[in-house]
Amino acid sequence: MKPSSPTIDVDLAELDRIIDEGMRAPLSESNGQKLKNALHALVERVAPRWRTTEKTRAVFEKPPNTEPEPEKPPPASGRPAPAGHGRNGAVRFPGAHKVAIPHAKLRHGDPCPECGAGKVYRQKQPKTLVRIVGRPPLEATRYEMERLRCNGCNQVFTAQVPPDAGPEKYDQTAAAMIAQLRYGSGVPFKRLERLEGNLGIPLPAATQWGLVERKAERIRPAYDELIRQAAQGEVVHNDDTGMRILHLAREPAPEGKGERTGVFTSGIVSRVGVWLIALFFSGWKHAGENLADVLKRRAPGLQPLIQMCDALSRNAPKLSEGVRLLLANCLSHGRRQFVDVAENFPAECRYVLETLGGVWYNDELARRRNLSPDERLRFHQEHSAPLMKTLKEWMEAQLAEHKTEPNSGLGKAIQYMLRHWQPLTLFLRERAAPLDNNLVERALKKAILHRKNSLFYKTKKGAEVGDLFMSLIHTCELNGANPFDYLTELMRHSEELKQNPAAWMPWNYRDTLSDSVR
């Protein structure tokens, strides 16, 4: 662990004198050390070291005498692995175009040309070969229909437009790809315009926006159905992140409260059975208010809903009558309180982080063993409850026995955990209660990616279109569906979608398509 820097009294007049002396003659060792200490203190003050991970082994550096980890032994067999079984084997390319190549000389049941005694039979698994080529995100085809003119009557005869040309200039796949790039991958319209222009395909940003705006209205029933189904979930995660909307009319402030100045994108992830639904809402409202709007569609008589969020009051919804919630707070947020002060309290924070690490390890074991919610609850009660009980007793002793100053960084971290202990440990009392809010934190990276690349939405309408496509795209990602294919089929079957939105969810739209073909 890196030791804390000592307190340094900085005398600006003395530093000026040292610099002036250094301009005339080499610095003495003592003056050079003073200047070096002052510079290091300044850098540590204004540019703290940011971590890219908060894992325990990254927060605490290894002691100098720690032995290096042993190298992994080489494979027992010296034979090379068979082709097609590398890091991304052939089965990892479900979106690849498949081409069946028959044998040039042999057919199923032919005599063996090698021994002449047996017959050759087709294997269940063909030999696979993957080849990847590069193409523009959007391609254009220019159809040139031949025209013939009579030199007598001047009548012009033009070849028929081929059926595969389609009735519209921009195919459904073009709109789906633009939406996928813009709201799924964070590629701004202007950046895509430049890319396509460099490849010889003019695609103005205004044209792209017009396409996705029109298509958003046609597939909105799918978004509304996602909201309806999300309201019926068993577990819901919610949080928000900052967003910018340039032209956004201010809503009247509630009586007795000041006018709001912040704009947010709220993320909501609801677990409905085995499916996960991601929703995004951008505007003045906080995550709790947007969740309350969603839960207005919750059917009466359902079991209490488990809400996972951090301890901020703005995440708590004002519930409509008949809706019951069980509050769970994010254990990762409680853990982060200790990560932030680990440099000043290394021994105490290491104990807390390693104890909580055992709880996450147990949760991972439950996941790998595919335990049911009831089995997972019993597993945590048996293995994690003793860890949390010991941790709570240790934290209470730190304050009661005056081992830790309550106003110190460590004291405040302990008080945060104790103050929210009941919602932080709901996973020890309720089946299916999660440990943390990481699921929605990852979902909000969609909105953060948009903010980093595009900086803002221009209008409320633009934000609504972005929320719709982000919700559909990320719901596909959470459930293993192909977002591009899903958006394309929604646009192609928008009339059927209006009639029965529930049949066009990311997890069942392929079954609906198969039934329509029969």
The number of CA neighbours under 13 Å toward the Cβ of 62 is 6
pLDDT for position 246: 92
What is the DSSP code (8-state) at residue 314? G
Q: Give tens-digit pLDDT for 480-506.
A: 999 999 999 999 999 999 999 999 999
Is 144 inside a domain boundary? no
Is 46 inside a domain boundary? no
| pTM exceeds 0.85 for this model | no
pLDDT for position 490: 97
Among candidate residues 400, 237, 451, the one with its CA nearest the CA of residue 332? 237
pLDDT for position 323: 86
Residues 314 and 363 in one domain: no
Three-state SS for 125-191 is: CCCCCCCCCCCCCCCCCCCCCCEEECCCCCCEEECCCCHHHCCCCCCHHHHHHHHHHHHHCCCCHHH
Residues 343 and 470 in one domain: no
Band of pLDDT at residue 10, cut at 50, 70 and 90: low
pLDDT for position 53: 62
- Spatial distance between the Cα atoms of 334 and 419, rounded to a whole number of angstroms: 10
509 near 486, Cβ under 8 Å? yes
Q: Which of 404, 434, 464 marks a domain boundary? A: 434
Dihedral angle of Cα 499, 481, 287, 234, to the nearest 10 degrees: 80
211 near 174, Cβ under 8 Å? yes
Residues 451 and 362 in one domain: no
Is 349 inside a domain boundary? yes
Residues 318 and 223 in one domain: yes
Number of domains the chain contains = 2
Residues 270 and 341 in one domain: no
Rounded alpha-carbon distances, angstroms, from residue 186 to 182, 213, 214, 280, 455:
5, 17, 20, 15, 11
182 near 470, Cβ under 8 Å? no
Q: Is the confidence at residue 478, as pLDDT, over 50?
A: yes
Residue numbers of the domain that contains 385: 331-434
pLDDT for position 374: 95
Band of pLDDT at residue 84, cut at 50, 70 and 90: low
Band of pLDDT at residue 414, cut at 50, 70 and 90: very high
The 10 Å CB-count burial string (b at 16+, else e) for 472-484 is bbbbbbbbebbbb
Q: Give tens-digit pLDDT for 20-74.
A: 877 888 888 888 888 888 887 776 666 555 556 666 666 666 554 445 554 555 5
Is 373 inside a domain boundary? yes
Among candidate residues 259, 251, 312, the one with its CA nearest the CA of residue 287? 312
Q: Is the confidence at residue 517, as pLDDT, over 80?
A: no
Residues 224 and 356 in one domain: no
Token couple for 393: 């007793």
281 near 266, Cβ under 8 Å? yes
Q: Is the confidence at residue 437, as pLDDT, over 90?
A: yes
Is 297 inside a domain boundary? yes
Residues 360 and 299 in one domain: no
Query: Taking residues 152-177, what's their average pLDDT?
Result: 92
309 near 287, Cβ under 8 Å? yes
pLDDT for position 64: 44
Among candidate residues 381, 448, 18, the one with its CA nearest the CA of residue 240? 448
Q: Give tens-digit pLDDT for 345-403.
A: 999 999 999 999 999 999 999 999 999 999 999 999 999 999 999 999 999 999 999 99
Band of pLDDT at residue 2, cut at 50, 70 and 90: very low
What is the C-alpha radius of gyration for the chain, rounded to an integer number of angstroms? 31
Collect all residues with Cβ–Cβ distance below 8 Å to 37 and sequence separation of at least 6: 8
Is 375 inside a domain boundary? yes
Cβ neighbourhood burial of 46 (10 Å; 0-12, 13-18, 19+) = exposed
Q: Which of 381, 411, 434 marks a domain boundary? A: 434
Is 404 inside a domain boundary? yes
pLDDT for position 201: 93
Q: Give tens-digit pLDDT for 269-317.
A: 999 999 999 999 999 999 999 999 999 999 988 999 999 999 898 898 8
Q: Give tens-digit pLDDT for 247-258.
A: 988 776 666 666
Is 76 inside a domain boundary? no
Tally Cβ neighbours within 10 Å of residue 218.
17
- Spatial distance between the Cα atoms of 269 and 443, rounded to a whole number of angstroms: 8
- Spatial distance between the Cα atoms of 104 and 298, rounded to a whole number of angstroms: 61
